[in-house]
A and B are shown apart, each in its own frame.
Chain A
Amino acid sequence: MTPQHDSFSLTREIAACRDHVWAAWADPTLKRAWFVDHDGPEWKTVHYNSDFRVGGWERGGWKMEATDHTPMAGEHSNETVYLEIEDRARIIYAYTMAMNGKIHSASLATVTFEDAGGGTRLTYTEQITQLDGSDGLESRKNGWNWLMDMMDKVLKETAA
């Protein structure tokens, strides 16, 4: 297969201060709450750890049980390396996604944090190389929109 290079960008205005939104990415417990623990009942987390520093890795493994209407059943894994961290302003990281041990995408993500009114504007930009077995750009965008919803939910739940 010829790899396909694409990119997309999402922007969210979040009703939480920049410190709190930053913590949702930098604090491993808070990150896990929206990035891992809000998966649906068909997902089982096999392992997850995060080392949030330049050169540090975040690794996760998930198993999705087979149902009648999903091609996603199997073991999924994510490996992330943090390449740039500018406190409360910007995170750049690269990550791969694999299914049943086979990498199907490699991505470069840039996340920026800006004050916006009384809240925070978060912009997520991903450049993705889709390899054989990738679930496609729309699926990735939908996945990140859903993750942003989960992040927003966790931020509301953990608001002081």
Chain B
Amino acid sequence: MTQSGAHFQLTRTIAAPPDRLWSLLTEPKAREMWGAPSDDAVLVLETADLREGGQERHRCGPADNPDFVVDTHWYHLAAPDLACFTETISAGGTRFAVTLVTYALTAEGNGTKLTIDVGLAPLTDGDMLDDFQQGWNSGLDRLERFIKADAFA
């Protein structure tokens, strides 16, 4: 079982300047384009409130039934460098986990070094750290593909 205090860190250099990457990471509609945990899933915005103390809700899952609920609380937004938020993942009234996520952006050449820290507080039994890490990596893959496609649009 994953324990409270479990953590992973992902680092990528993304081919977009910090301002552009910041918008894609934080704007609620932009998150729809890349934030699902797999290519088969969708992320659909329900409620947007991008500000410190703001709460947002997305639905996530298969396009015909996105039954997972992702509740985001924003705690710190220092554009375009640093964001801290929690996500609570639930479905059918059952909460599965809460994560504390930090985005740190640093300009690097023509792009941006992005460091993501994810700390996990599980609410159900089971090993979920690998699933969360895989979901985040899949989302970042889609983010990079979107940026690449957008650059040639």
Residues of chain A lying within 8 A (CB to CB) of residue B52? 103
CB–CB A84/B98 < 8 A: yes
**CA gap between A7 and B127 in the complex, in Å:** 19
CB–CB A127/B119 < 8 A: yes
B contact patch SS: strand
In the complex, what's the smallest C-beta–C-beta distance from B123 to chain A, in angstroms? 6
Task: Name A95's closest neighbour in chain B (CB-CB).
Answer: B75
Q: A107-B100, A131-B82 are in contact. Are A94 and B95 (CB under 8 A)?
A: no
B20-65: which have CB < 8 Å to A? 52-53
Residues of chain B lying within 8 A (CB to CB) of residue A108? 86, 98-100, 119, 121
Q: Is B104 an interface residue (CB 8 A)?
A: yes
CB–CB A106/B104 < 8 A: no
Q: Is A45 an interface residue (CB 8 A)?
A: no
In the complex, what's the smallest C-beta–C-beta distance from A109 to chain B, in angstroms? 8
Residues of chain A lying within 8 A (CB to CB) of residue B128? none
Q: A83-B86, A83-B88, A131-B82 are in contact. Are A5 and B95 (CB under 8 A)?
A: no
**CA gap between A103 and B102 in the complex, in Å:** 14
Q: Is B4 an interface residue (CB 8 A)?
A: yes
Q: Mark A1-30, 1 if CB is under 8 A from B, else 0.
A: 011010111000000000000000000000
CB–CB A84/B95 < 8 A: yes
CB–CB B119/A5 < 8 A: yes
**CA gap between A125 and B121 in the complex, in Å:** 9
New A-B pairs, 13, CB < 8 Å, besides A8-B5, A129-B117: A2-B104, A3-B84, A5-B9, A81-B73, A83-B86, A84-B123, A103-B76, A107-B100, A108-B86, A108-B98, A110-B4, A110-B121, A131-B84
